[in-house]
Amino acid sequence: MKIKKPKISKRSIIIAAILILLLGIPTAYLLSIRNQEESGAWYNSSWLYRRSISVGNPGSTLTNEDVLIEVDTATLVTASKLQADCDDLRFIDSDDSTPLAYWVEGGCNTSTTHIWVQIPTLNSGGETIYMYYGNTSATNSEQTWTGKFYLMKNSACDSGWTTESNSGGDFYQKFPKPSSSYGTTGGSTTHNHGNYNLTTSVVSSGANTNTSGTNNISIGHSHNFTLVTEDNTSVLPPYLDMIFCSNNDLVLKQYTIAEFTSTVSASFTRFSALDTLLPRGNSTYGGTSTATTHTHNTTTVTSGVPSATGTNATGAVNIPSSTHTHNAAASATTAGSQVPPTLTTIFGQANNDLMAPTGTIVMSNATPPLGWTRFSSLDGYYPTGGSTYGNAGGVSSHTHNLPALSFTATSDYVLGGTANPKLSLPSATHTHSTSQSATTSVNNEPPYISTLFIQKKTSQTVTVNNEEVDNQAPNQPSDLYTEGAPNPTGVIDLTPEFSAVFSDPDTANTGTYYEIEVNTNNTFTGTVMWDTTQTATGPITNGARSSDFSYAGTALTENGVTYYWRIRFWDNNGAVSNWSTTANFTMNTSNVAPDAPSVPYAEGVTNPATVTDLTPEFSAVFTDSNTPDTGAYYEIEVNTNNTFTGTVMWDTTQTATGPITNGARSSDFSYAGTALTRDGTTYYWRIKFWDNNGAVSNWSATQQFTMDTNVAPNAPTSPLAETATNPVKVSDITPEFSAIFTDNNATDTGTYYEIEVNTNNTFTGTVMWDTGQTATGPITNNTRSPDYIYAGTALTLDGVTYYWRIRFWDDSTTVSDWSTTQQFTMSGIPNNPTSLLTEGATDPTGVTDTTPEFSAIYSDPNADNGTSYEIEVNTNNTFSGTVMWDSGQVATGPITSGNRSTDISYAGTTLTKNSTTYYWRIRFWDIDGVSGWSSTAQFTMGTNTIPNAPSTPYAEGATNPIKVGDITPEFSAVFSDTDAGDTGAYYEIEVNTNNTFTGTVMWDTGQTATSIANGVRSPDYIYAGTALTLDGVTYYWRIRFWDIDGGVSSWSTTQQFTMTGIPNNPTSLLTEGATNPTGVTD
């Protein structure tokens, strides 16, 4: 149990000093104790456990500060220290008495339970608060909150979560709109911009006519008309359908999506699927639209009648009537935005189940009571995904331009005259038009539900300290003794002693006070004989009996009265036990002392000689003239002098014994004084008894006993190590040793031993182990000792031989000679490999074999065969460079100790002849284990010679062919290299229109992999360049090779090939034998 360190105020110290002067030390001591008790205050004893919590505050004093405490409540629940629903959690202020408001964020019984606690005043520098738990009857006391957290997912909601975006749910086909309250809905998927009363352009001329007559016509005029804008099928902003899930407790389940204002927290992956899109609730994930603008269609328009009319004489000219109309075709408005105001946030998807990190933004229908604050920065915006936070976009409303319309000519006209023209009237085929104009403004709100966006606060630093356990009261005292016995009668001691066993459920506690009540009545309502009140005692160990407390009350007498008593204890933390059960004692009426003990025996006889037992037994006959009395105590004295003035060998003082029946012999009392030896000495002894009423007899007559004379044990025989004589291949690094103990004194036993283990058979080498004289359980004469386990300098499995010997002491501490020298040989791992060879040589240079062979000499201290090997090859002699090859443990045919291993071929990263030096080492295994690494060896690769220039180049299997009819000809050449072991690994071919290769590049393969044996023609390489045609053109080509060590040859000689072709155009044309003759007569 942990107890607070006492804090004693200056005021208490001053008062204590004054009390010492006025009243003495005891009063001041009590004041100090009281301060200690108060400093260990516990909020409420109904709570068994608490933890102090250190809350930091590097700044100025804070008011009503929310701090986050993370607790592994699952472990506490499993340990039955906390209710499964955390109902018994309490948080207490630094005064350890004022409860603090708290709220559990994500539910109880988890390994990372998040609990918010509000501290009314958090002083600069921080302070300590307390968390209490462990009360099975406590009810929930956290702050109430009936709200919900809303999270999005791209898959189904988890078990225990409610889907809120199914049909009928709050978020079904709705966009979350950040707001200060939850639940208001609005917005629309469609809209129009209304109807518009417009006027066409004016038409006033086209034909000359007069205005006489009565024929109704139209003169210069316009037309009025109404333009209707139609609804759109959908004007939703760019969106992605998400599944919305809710829960009263916030644990971010795997794949749930939250928002952040900076880089997503660890354990989250940025959810980029929402980039540029607004989340919308739906029953399934993935529905989407990316449209940002829209238009509206208008209806087909028919105009009204002309705005001006007149009359005209009848004639033969078509003139528009006074009631004609025009039609205009349906058209569309210009585009307008459908994106409401947006603000980019960073959406993050949880990689696993976890508690929300600081700064996380989620949706809710109410702000939690502690730890969260409304994130108002999103108010007026719809959240949209992005890689950075805070980029605004969209508009709150929009307009369109109405289309410019063209009204077609009318067919409604009359015949008018044109004599004596006075007016220029509209033509019968006239048209009208309109120009663009703006619509009214419409809100961009999509279907929405107002939603609170809340952000997790940043907490001051918090440290949850180790568990403390409340101090529990001691148990009821038990096993009450009066005068060393339960409920005794015939008590003759007028100040009897009382004791009881102290026990406390807090195992570290001790008893520090007691109170005893003695009364004439067993209900303690009679005469109070003694009440100690609370009295200090030396600390009583938990589970132990108290010291004897002597009666100090009203005087007792030997009057045969029975008294009743009880006791209680206080522990070192001030908690008091219940009263014990009631005990009693009865005073004696009168008593006569016992007779002096008679017939004293030592070792069962009178005055024995040649005693071999080093702890002899003593007894005598108890007699008392009070017939019912029994012997209750004894005292024995053993001395070197028969007047008991010599050396005191043993004095038991008054020692309790089982009751001795009057007239009977006592039990044997074993000697327990200064050690006796078998040295022939005579000792003197006497005994006296106390009866059960406390009266003591006179001493018995003086007795004596004489010790036997001892002979040393024989040297130990049949020494065994690991149960064998001189064993080899010992694999136990703590071997066991034993030997047979014999002694010519047939009754002697072995009581001590000494073992020496040394590197030299004369025991002048290194001392590996010397037990010194060490006690052992008695070894019966002529019997093997127990196994004694080696405990010296550490042994290893190294094949070393060690030498050992043993000797014994008998029960008279006489020592034998050493046993004969024995030995044991440890099992051994192989020696480090030696004589390392690469390619049959030590540290060779100029190595041309790219799979060199390695070998080494194997040797073993036990001559065991080698069974496995491991080789490491590295670019660094400390083996910290590039690992070229590590064979791992590889089985091999048995290698006889002292012989060389077989050649082991390199099988690592490809080596090349590049003059590099590599370092290698080897180790071997035998049946006992693995050797150390050998010393480091090395080998240096040879230098590579570049290949010769390719020879005998062929195109289409020939040298410089003509009339080539294959438009993908094949090329080859012979590869040769003065390094006989090299092969061709790459080639390059160039084909050009110019023999200096400065013309048009038709084909360049670049460095291309191949495989060619030394001195052999390469495979055919098929042309794959710019398309060739059968046009008789000559092309030039060359080739070069790389060997396996990266050396590149010179180019081959320049070769050529000529494509086959149709005839050239004819030239030198002659007519009648001449060029372009004239005057031809033939």
Residues 573 and 616 reside in one and the same domain: no
Other Cβ atoms less than 10 A from the Cβ of 658: the count is 9
In a domain, 1082, yes or no: no
In a domain, 430, yes or no: no
Residues 686 and 738 reside in one and the same domain: no
List, in sequence order, every beta strand (DSSP E) within 72-221: 90-92, 102-104, 113-122, 127-133, 149-153, 162-163, 175-178, 185-186, 195-199, 206-209, 215-218
Residue found by looking up tokens 């080093």 in the block:
614
Q: Cβ(269)–Cβ(351) under 8 Å? A: yes
CA–CA gap between residue 674 and residue 534 (Å, rounded): 42
The count of structural domains within the chain is: 8
Q: Cβ(753)–Cβ(731) under 8 Å? A: no
CA–CA gap between residue 961 and residue 966 (Å, rounded): 11
Residue found by looking up tokens 């042309």 in the block:
1023
Residues 672 and 619 reside in one and the same domain: yes
Other Cβ atoms less than 10 A from the Cβ of 598: the count is 13
Residue found by looking up tokens 């006497």 in the block:
686
> 497-519: string of b/e by CB count within 10 Å (b at 16+)?
ebbbbbbbebeebbbbbbbbbbb
Other Cβ atoms less than 10 A from the Cβ of 449: the count is 24
Please give the residue range of the domain that contains residue 571. 473-586
Q: Cβ(1058)–Cβ(966) under 8 Å? A: no
Residues 160 and 245 reside in one and the same domain: yes
SS3 for 142-160, per residue?
Answer: CCCCCCCEEEEECCCCCCC
CA nearest 187: which of 324, 340, 62?
Answer: 340
In a domain, 1063, yes or no: no
CA–CA gap between residue 348 and residue 270 (Å, rounded): 4
CA–CA gap between residue 563 and residue 337 (Å, rounded): 104
Return all residues near 431 (Cβ < 8 A) that are at least 6 apart. 203, 326, 406, 407, 408, 409
Return all residues near 166 (Cβ < 8 A) that are at least 6 apart. 172, 283
Residues 927 and 966 reside in one and the same domain: no
Please provide residue 251's backbone torsions phi and psi, each rounded to the nearest 5 degrees: -125, 120
E strand or H helix that includes residue 36: helix 25-39
Q: Is 812 exposed, middle or buried (0-12, 13-18, 19+ CB in 10 A)?
A: buried
Residues 167 and 282 reside in one and the same domain: yes
Give the DSSP letter string of 353-401.
-BPPPTT-EEEESS--SSSEEE-GGGTTSEEEE-SSS--EE--SEE--E
In a domain, 208, yes or no: no
Spans in the chain with pLDDT lower than 50: 1-40, 422
The C-alpha angle with vertex 139 and arms to 135 and 143, in degrees rounded to 5, equals 120
In a domain, 906, yes or no: yes
CATH number at 755 reads 2.60.40.10
Interstrand relation of 682-691 and 462-469 (parallel, antiparallel or unpaired): unpaired
The C-alpha angle with vertex 679 and arms to 674 and 685, in degrees rounded to 5, equals 50
End-to-end CA distance of the chain: 141
List, in sequence order, every beta strand (DSSP E) within 942-1049: 951-955, 970-975, 984-992, 1001-1004, 1008-1012, 1016-1017, 1021-1022, 1034-1043
Pair of tokens at residue 449: 């539900």
Strand order in the sheet with 102-104: 62-71, 113-122, 102-104
CA 78 to chain centre: 19
Residues 278 and 383 reside in one and the same domain: yes
Residues 991 and 1011 reside in one and the same domain: yes
Q: What is the pLDDT of residue 260?
A: 96
Residues 263 and 374 reside in one and the same domain: yes
Return all residues near 523 (Cβ < 8 A) that are at least 6 apart. none
pLDDT per position as a tens digit, 270-297: 999 999 999 999 999 999 999 999 998 8
Q: Cβ(839)–Cβ(849) under 8 Å? A: yes
CA–CA gap between residue 386 and residue 624 (Å, rounded): 107
Return all residues near 1070 (Cβ < 8 A) that are at least 6 apart. none
Please provide residue 13's backbone torsions phi and psi, each rounded to the nearest 5 degrees: -65, -45
In a domain, 426, yes or no: no
* Dihedral angle sign, alpha carbons of residues 551, 555, 559, 563: negative
CA nearest 978: which of 1055, 1045, 1064?
Answer: 1045
In a domain, 424, yes or no: no
In a domain, 711, yes or no: no
Residues 725 and 809 reside in one and the same domain: yes
Q: Cβ(458)–Cβ(358) under 8 Å? A: yes
CA–CA gap between residue 404 and residue 148 (Å, rounded): 53
Cα separation values, 45 from 38, 117, 133, 193, 471, Å: 14, 22, 11, 73, 8
Please indicate, yes or no, whether the overall pTM of this predicted structure exceeds 0.75: no
CA–CA gap between residue 353 and residue 943 (Å, rounded): 60
Q: What is the pLDDT of residue 420?
A: 55
756, 762, 767, 773 alpha-carbon torsion, rounded to 10°: 30
Q: Cβ(948)–Cβ(978) under 8 Å? A: yes
Instruction: List residues bridging with 1058 in a β-sheet.
Output: 1034
**Listed residues 905, 940, 975: the one ending a domain:** 940
**Listed residues 406, 424, 455: the one ending a domain:** 455
What is residue 123's DSSP assignment? -
CATH number at 114 reads 2.60.40
Q: Cβ(992)–Cβ(1035) under 8 Å? A: yes
Residues 185 and 311 reside in one and the same domain: yes
E strand or H helix that includes residue 310: strand 309-312
Query: Residues in the chain, how many?
Result: 1082
**Listed residues 940, 974, 1008: the one ending a domain:** 940
Residues 794 and 876 reside in one and the same domain: no
Q: What is the pLDDT of residue 813?
A: 83
CA–CA gap between residue 583 and residue 518 (Å, rounded): 9
Helix axes 10-22, 25-39, angle to 10 degrees: 160
pLDDT per position as a tens digit, 573-583: 889 999 999 99
